[in-house]
Amino acid sequence: MNLRAVWAIYRVEMARAFRTVLQSIISPVISTSLYFVVFGSAIGSRITEIDGISYGAFIVPGLIMLSLLTQSIANASFAIYFPKFVGSIYELLSAPISYLEIVIAYVGGAATKSIMLGLIILATAALFVPLRIEHPFWMVAFLVLTAVTFSLFGFIIGIWAKSFEQLQLVPLLIVTPLTFLGGSFYSIHMLPGIWRTITLFNPVVYLISGFRWSFYGKADVSVGVSLGMTLVFLAICIAIVAWIFRTGYRLRN
Amino acid sequence: MQLHETPFGLYQVTSFRQSFQPMPSILSISGVSKTYATGFKALKEVNLDIQRGEIFALLGPNGAGKTTLISIICGIVNRSSGTVTVDGHDINKDYRAARSLIGLVPQELTIDAFESVWRTVNYSRGLFGKPANPAFVEKVLRDLSLWDKKDAKAITLSGGMKRRLMIAKALSHEPRVLFLDEPTAGVDVELRQDMWAMVRRLREDGVTIILTTHYIEEAEEMADRVGVINRGEIILVEGKAELMRKLGRKQIRIELREPLSSVPDGLSRYALELSGDGTELTYTYDNQSDRPGVASLIRDLEASGIQFRDLDTKNSSLEEIFVNLLRQEP
Ligand SMILES: Nc1ncnc2c1ncn2[C@@H]1O[C@H](COP(=O)(O)OP(=O)(O)O)[C@@H](O)[C@H]1O
Ligand SMILES: [Mg+2]
């Protein structure tokens, strides 16, 4: 195991986050605060509570997931797309480093950043609403699992993308809509019958539901199913990454 | 020239001779082909052995496949067939050992623009699994006149400085084989001189250097051996001196005592050129042609009653050899 290489990549990725601290950390904090002001007070004045939880507190897990998903994808896809774009990827490909090590370093870096971000949002939220976390272990588990899974997903997008447009296509056209429709701001029980069924095909619903359960002990779908779905998505991403590296897809051709 | 008719004949002779060298080759390429996804065949059954510690120049026109070949050896591009070993390590089965011996300075300037020079170079060292060694990295930067710029971001560097940085990255992990892909394309004189000084120093330390170039003077000045590649095929591999001897053309300029109005018939088989003012004859021949030699020319000059004041000979440069070779290609 070339741990020095993993560490070298990881450090550069973290350094990038601190260099672009405004973009990486402050802007999500501001946008989260805005969500609170807009959704929390505008809608919160009409819906006072869901499942016995105040509306402001109810949306916190969803908001964290929202940022966690988009930032994991953005961080990881950019981290691998950028060297491809400027050509400096040659060095990575010529280094005595295994595929597994490359993935650990890049995905680890991206996931670390988005986990830190999730925690910052959590701290920001605590300033607005009273929070409680009933299952801290599972809270952290969902946080880490989601960050890793979607960083892997971002990594795949970064390797697949041939242009900046493509890089933003998947997050914009698929991930963001799925996240907004994933029950961040409402309980899916509030939807009329047919929509509730359709929503169950949205994988983000399971992530948010499971994550919210770890806070308040209340879930839209059972927590076992949430965990299972997350692991399935993780397995799919790992399989795709393994295939990419076995074939050299868009890397060594 | 017979070379194009038996292009591999010459090559085989070379590799036969190599098998008697005491040291095994440090880089061995056999039967390497590459077909790109577009269907384009960039390399066709390339065989090449590079000897330990030599400076090898790979010469070829644009699009010949030089970068493709280097990229395959370094693990950047997958080959379609063939095997490559570096110091006995297969580049696939034993990629860690093979790659950690190699340093690459690619053709294009490709650097993460937002990192400082110092970080960039240390990152490269780490990537190749070497423990941090600030003193060594400092020495590399000083040797390349980059020390003053160690805290500068790559984006603020001039083109020449960026090129130095690329070299520093390649040297940061103490490679035993160094690839320089068109190292002096668009580079100023000072950097070119620094680079050659560096290449010589590295060679003294036993580093094997493989460079590609269009600038044939460079191959002529630096290389121990030269390989010529065209359209994905190695047309020949030769020691530089032997190549010049075998393929070089010679010219003899003869300064006459009395101007001539035309070349006498008795000398027609030499196809001599007469200068405008009639005071100089030029005889061109190559070492492989069956044109008669200098001795018979001098005899025949005397027989025709032509007296000469002076005579001087000139060997053709590698450039001329190269152009000739490519012209011979079908
Ligand atoms: N990724 C690629 N896909 C298709 N063709 C390529 C690719 N890279 C290079 N080529 C083609 O392969 C040939 C050899 O290219 P290259 O190895 O860069 O030549 P050189 O370095 O000798 O100039 C060229 O004709 C080039 O157009
Ligand atoms: Mg090239």
Tens of pLDDT, residues A144-183: 999 999 999 999 999 999 999 999 888 888 888 888 888 8
Average pLDDT rounded to a whole number, residues B38-66? 94
pLDDT band at B248 (very low <50, low <70, confident <90, very high): low
CA distance B56 to B147: 29
Percent of chain A with pLDDT over 70: 99
Least confident of A34-43, A81-90, B253-262: A34-43
Is residue A39 situated within a structural domain? Answer: yes
CA distance A129 to A124: 9
Nearest chain B Cα distance for residue A9, angstroms:
7
Average pLDDT rounded to a whole number, residues B250-266? 86
Is residue A253 situated within a structural domain? Answer: no
If one compares B20 and B258, the residue with the highest pLDDT of the two is B258
Nearest chain A Cα distance for residue B85, angstroms:
14
Confidence (pTM): 0.82
pLDDT band at B287 (very low <50, low <70, confident <90, very high): low
CA distance B49 to B41: 22
**What residues does each domain of chain B span?**
2-245, 249-316
Query: Are B306 and B265 spatial neighbours (Cβ–Cβ below 8 Å)?
Result: no
Average pLDDT, chain A: 88
Helix (H), strand (E) at residue B18: helix B7-18
- Domain carrying residue A240: 3-247
Helix (H), strand (E) at residue B244: helix B240-247
pLDDT higher than threshold 60 for residue B8: no
Query: Are A212 and A65 spatial neighbours (Cβ–Cβ below 8 Å)?
Result: no
Task: Provide the pLDDT for residue A139.
Answer: 95
**pLDDT digits 0-9 by tens, B90-135:** 999 999 999 999 999 999 888 877 889 999 999 999 999 999 999 9
Task: Provide the pLDDT for residue A54.
Answer: 83
Are β-strands B55-59 and B208-213 bridged in parallel, bridged antiparallel, or unpaired?
A: parallel
Task: Provide the pLDDT for residue B138.
Answer: 97
- Helix/strand/coil percent split, chain A, to 5: 80, 0, 20
If one compares B218 and B35, the residue with the highest pLDDT of the two is B35
Q: How many domains does chain A have?
A: 1
Give the per-residue SS3 of A1-65. CCHHHHHHHHHHHHHHHHHCHHHHHHHHHHHHHHHHHHHHHHHCCCCCEECCEEHHHHHHHHHHH
Degrees (nearest 5) of the Cα angle B123, B125, B127? Answer: 70
Which of A1, A2, A90, A106 is best to mutate for the B interface (most B CBs within 10 A)?
Answer: A90
Task: Provide the pLDDT for residue B10.
Answer: 36
Structure token pair of residue B18: 């190599």
pLDDT higher than threshold 90 for residue B216: no
**pLDDT digits 0-9 by tens, A210-249:** 999 999 988 888 889 999 999 999 999 999 999 988 887 8
Strand-by-strand arrangement of the B27-35 sheet: B41-50, B27-35, B81-86, B89-90
Residue in chain A lying closest to B94 (CA): A96
Task: Provide the pLDDT for residue A191.
Answer: 81
A246 touches chain B (CB under 8 A): no
Least confident of A51-55, A111-115, A154-158, B150-154: A51-55
Task: Provide the pLDDT for residue B275.
Answer: 87
B26 alpha carbon – ligand 2 mean position (Å): 22
Task: Provide the pLDDT for residue B5.
Answer: 33
Is residue A162 situated within a structural domain? Answer: yes
CATH number of B2-245: 3.40.50.300
Q: Which of B130-139, B191-200, B235-244, B298-307 has the highest mean pLDDT?
A: B130-139
B:233-292 residues touching chain A, CB 8 A cutoff = none
Average pLDDT, chain B: 85
Question: Which one, of A69, A72, A47, A68, lies nearest residue A58 by Cα?
Answer: A47
Atom of ligand 1 at shortest range from CA of B77: 1
Average pLDDT rounded to a whole number, residues B41-67? 94
CATH H-level, domain B249-316: superfamily: Alpha-L RNA-binding motif (3.30.70.1560)
Is residue A135 situated within a structural domain? Answer: yes
Nearest CB among A8, A82, A87 relative to B126 is that of A8
Q: What are phi and psi of B247, to 5 degrees?
A: -105, -15
